[in-house]
Amino acid sequence: MDLDEYRAGLDAWLEHHAEALAPAHEGKGTLDEQLAQIEKVKRLAFDAGWMRHGWPERVGGLGGSTLLRAYLQEAVTARDLVEPGLFSMQEVLAPTMIDFASPELGAIMVPRLLRGDETWCQGFSEPGTGSNLASLACRAVRDGDTWRVTGQKVWTSLAQYAERCVLLTRTGTVESAHRGITGLFVDMDSPGITVRPIEAVHGSEEFSEVFFDDVVVPAERMLGAEGQGWSVAMDLLPYERSTALWQRAAFLHRRLQQLLELAPADSLDPVRLGEVTQTLYAFRARSRATQHRMADGGTLGPETSIDKVLLATTEQAVFDLFADALAAELTTGDDPASSQWRAEFLYSRAASIYGGSSEIQRNIIARRLLDLGSDR
């Protein structure tokens, strides 16, 4: 199926099933409500076949271009059916699972994620290491046919809901840095795992601390070979900045449209509005090129750091524009729509931190794309 055929068919299906797909909650909803809505949309779209296009047949997909997946992300976001950051988790985690898990494990697990039967989380960040993955300390020690994991992760999205975790562990010495890391696929109901949700500034407990106390993980749950965890991370992070960011661009485009509909005519500085619009379309153009490069079989790498920097700049600019035009609604409005804008404004402040801070992205751009040498 080509993109035009897929787009027409999906749009018609979304229109025909609009009532069934609509959120049951008003406004942004609670995190429980958002997750329930995402599970519903995934299940209906998977069972109708739309969620399976663009994924390999060996993991339950129907094959075809990754552009089909990108359009699905865009279409459900443009209709306000899902919270974009949470809905895109399969775009971040499933490709690396397909690349590094055993074929048997991938064939069993990936369809569960795509259909919304399971939620997965990403155990990368740790206290004190920030975005510097090479210094992670959560340790895994080989014990026969198992690994025993002890340590802590933080800023782990949806950990309290997750059935599985894509986890990076230290299996070499601390001095081995990026060479001593191993990836594991961990069942979150394993004995020894404790999850403590963190309430963020926008009022949602989207993130958690996760503690591992001598957690036993079967050796066949390794992602790649022992010591190949850095490759797992370098494979996953560009996906975090590809289709997921295209969906984020659709979300910001939708919010800018809604801002123009809501704001009084004289409340928007035309120069500022032009700048924000230009920034948004530059980000969309950059992300569109990334989608096509991935669809053409290209390898995603450090150049996706440019996409991430543009996302952070655009997201904060769009919501800053809302704050300028509708300050009263943003700060004191108590209706569901105002509460949603306020939560999204606050969340936008994290855009230059989550998924690798803008400082880290600029270091990557300087060192790996512009060959400007080390920052030290």
Alpha carbons within 13 angstroms on the beta-carbon side of residue 313 total 20
pLDDT of residue 3: 95
Q: Are 279 and 314 in contact (CB under 8 A)?
A: yes
Section 27-53 average pLDDT: 95
pTM over the 0.85 mark: yes
CA distance 15 to 296: 30
Q: Are 34 and 28 in contact (CB under 8 A)?
A: yes
What band does 239 get if pLDDT is binned at 50, 70 and 90?
Answer: confident
pLDDT of residue 357: 86
pLDDT of residue 38: 96
Q: Are 252 and 322 in contact (CB under 8 A)?
A: no
Q: Look at residue 176 and tell me whether its pLDDT is greater than 90.
A: no
CA distance 242 to 69: 11
Alpha carbons within 13 angstroms on the beta-carbon side of residue 250 total 25
pLDDT of residue 375: 61
Q: What percent of the chain has pLDDT over 70?
A: 99
- Among the ranges given (11-15, 61-65, 76-80, 177-181), the one the predictor scored with the smallest mean pLDDT: 177-181
Q: What is the pLDDT of residues 97-122, one digit of tens each?
A: 999 999 999 999 999 999 999 999 99
Q: Which one has a higher pLDDT value, 178 or 79?
A: 79
Which residues fall within 8 angstroms of residue 376, CB to CB, at 6 or more apart? none
Taking the CA atoms of residue 90, residue 96, residue 101 and residue 106 in that order, the dihedral angle to the nearest 10 degrees is 30
Q: Look at residue 209 and tell me whether its pLDDT is greater than 70.
A: yes
- Among the ranges given (239-248, 276-285, 317-326), the one the predictor scored with the smallest mean pLDDT: 239-248
Q: Could you tell me whether strands 139-143 and 181-187 are parallel, antiparallel, or unpaired per DSSP bridges? A: unpaired
Helices 89-100 and 229-240 pack at an angle, to 10 degrees, of: 150
CA distance 124 to 167: 6
Section 209-232 average pLDDT: 95
pLDDT of residue 135: 84
Top-ranked range on mean pLDDT: pick from 86-90, 128-132, 343-347, 355-359? 343-347
Q: Look at residue 374 and tell me whether its pLDDT is greater than 80.
A: no
Section 330-355 average pLDDT: 91
What are 166's strand-pairing partners?
A: 122, 185
pLDDT of residue 142: 96
pLDDT of residue 275: 97
Section 157-180 average pLDDT: 90
240 flagged as catalytic: yes
Q: Which one has a higher pLDDT value, 301 or 23?
A: 23
Q: Look at residue 128 and tell me whether its pLDDT is greater than 90.
A: no
Token couple for 28: 């942004």
Q: Are 26 and 20 in contact (CB under 8 A)?
A: no
Q: Look at residue 132 and tell me whether its pLDDT is greater than 80.
A: no
Q: Could you tell me whether strands 120-123 and 139-143 are parallel, antiparallel, or unpaired per DSSP bridges? A: unpaired
pLDDT of residue 10: 98
Spell 41-59 as b/e; 16+ CB within 10 A means b. Answer: bbebbbeeebbbbbbbeeb
Residue 148: φ, ψ to 5°: -115, 120
- Among the ranges given (48-57, 305-314, 367-376), the one the predictor scored with the smallest mean pLDDT: 367-376
Token couple for 101: 């898990």
Q: Distance of CA 153 to CAs 79, 91, 193, 203, 234, Å?
A: 34, 21, 11, 21, 18
Q: What is the pLDDT of residues 271-298, one digit of tens each?
A: 999 999 999 999 999 999 999 999 998 8
Q: Are 39 and 349 in contact (CB under 8 A)?
A: no
| Count of other CB atoms within 10 angstroms of residue 175 | 7
pLDDT of residue 373: 79
Range list of β-strands (E), the chain: 120-123, 139-143, 146-153, 164-170, 181-187, 193-198, 207-218, 222-223
Token couple for 347: 């969340």
What band does 131 get if pLDDT is binned at 50, 70 and 90?
Answer: low
| Count of other CB atoms within 10 angstroms of residue 309 | 21
Name the active-site residue from 83, 240, 315, 329.
Answer: 240
The mean predicted confidence, pLDDT, of the chain is 93
For every residue of 220-288, DSSP letters joined together read GGEESSTT-HHHHHHHHHHHHTTHHHHHHHHHHHHHHHHHHHHS-GGGS-HHHHHHHHHHHHHHHHHHH
Section 4-12 average pLDDT: 97
What are 211's strand-pairing partners?
A: 152, 194
Instruction: Please give the helix or strand (H or E) that residue 294 lies within, else none.
Output: helix 270-295
Token couple for 255: 């919010």
